[in-house]
Amino acid sequence: MLTQLSINNYALINQLSIDFSSGLSIITGETGAGKSILLGALGLVLGNRADLSSLKDTSTKCIVEAKVAISNYNLEAFFNEVDLDYEAETIIRREILPSGKSRAFVNDTPVTLAVLNQLRTKLIDVHSQHQTMQLSDVAFQFSILDALAKNKARIESYKRGFTKLNQLKKELASLVEIQKEANQQYDYNLHLFKELEEAKIQVDEQEELEEKLEKLNNIEDIKLNLSEALELTINEEIGIQNLLNTLENRLSKIAVFSKEYQELSDRITSVKIEVDDVVGELENANENVDFNPNEAEEINDRLQLLYNLQKKHYVSSNKELIKVFEDLSEKVAQVESADEVINLKQKEIDDVSEKLDKVAALISNARTKSIPKLTKELQVLLTDLGMENARFSIKINLSKNYFSNGKDELEFLFSANKGGSFGELKKVASGGELSRIMLSVKTVLSKNTQLPTIIFDEIDTGVSGEVSNKIAAIMQQMSNNMQVIAITHLPQIAAKGVNHYKVYKKEIKGITTTNLKLLSSDERVREIAEMLSGKDISDSALTHAKELLN
Residue 357 located in a structural domain: no
Last residue of a domain, one of 310, 339, 368: 339
Same domain for 218 and 180, yes or no, is: yes
Domain containing 279 equals 175-339
Same domain, yes or no: 198 and 317 = yes
- Same-domain status, 251 and 291: yes
Whether residue 483 is contained in a domain is answered as yes
Contact (CB, 8 A) for 463 and 432: yes
Does residue 395 form part of some domain? Answer: yes
Judge if 234 and 115 occupy the same domain.
Answer: no
Are 122 and 206 found together in one domain? no
Residue 155 in any domain: the answer is no
Cα–chain center distance at 9: 34
My answer on whether 135 and 209 are in the same domain is no
**Main-chain dihedrals φ then ψ at residue 200, nearest 5 degrees:** 50, 60
Note the pLDDT of residue 550.
82
CA torsion 296→300→302→307, rounded to 10°?
Answer: 160
Asked if 404 and 487 sit in the same domain, the reply is yes
The pLDDT assigned to 337 comes to 67
**Residue 91 counted as domain residue:** yes
Question: Strand, helix or coil at 303?
Answer: helix
**Domain-ending residue, one of 306, 339, 372:** 339
- DSSP reduced 3-state for 390: coil
Answer for the pair 106, 87: CB distance below 8 angstroms, yes or no. Answer: no
- A 10 A CB-CB count for 345 gives 18
Q: Write out the DSSP string of 92-104.
A: EEEEE-TTS-EEE
Q: Are residues 313 and 257 in the same domain?
A: yes
Q: Provide the CATH number for the domain around residue 113.
A: 3.40.50.300
220: Cβ contacts below 8 Å, ≥ 6 apart: none
Q: Are residues 66 and 145 in the same domain?
A: yes
Are the CB atoms for 102 and 96 separated by under 8 Å?
A: yes
Structural domain total, the chain: 2
* Residue 266: inside a domain: yes
Q: Which helix (H) or strand (E) is 169 found in, with range?
A: helix 152-199
Query: What is the rounded CA–CA span in Å between residue 266 and residue 272?
Result: 10
Q: SS3 string of 242-272?
A: HHHHHHHHHHHHHHHHCHHHHHHHHHHHHHH
Residue 226 lies in a domain: yes
Cross-sheet strand order for the sheet of 483-487: 124-128, 453-457, 483-487, 24-28, 499-508, 511-518
**Is residue 204 located within the same domain as residue 120?**
no
Rounded average pLDDT per 10-residue block, the chain, 550 residues: 92 90 91 84 88 81 94 89 92 91 93 91 82 83 92 94 95 85 73 86 84 76 82 78 85 88 90 88 79 76 87 88 87 73 90 95 96 94 90 93 94 88 86 85 84 85 78 89 91 92 87 90 94 88 91
For residue 316, the model assigns a pLDDT of 86
Are 452 and 498 members of one domain? yes
Q: Looking at the structure, do residues 203 and 70 belong to the same domain, yes or no?
A: no
Q: Is residue 274 part of a domain?
A: yes
pLDDT of 452-510, one tens digit each?
899 998 877 767 778 888 888 899 888 888 899 999 989 999 999 999 999 998 887 78
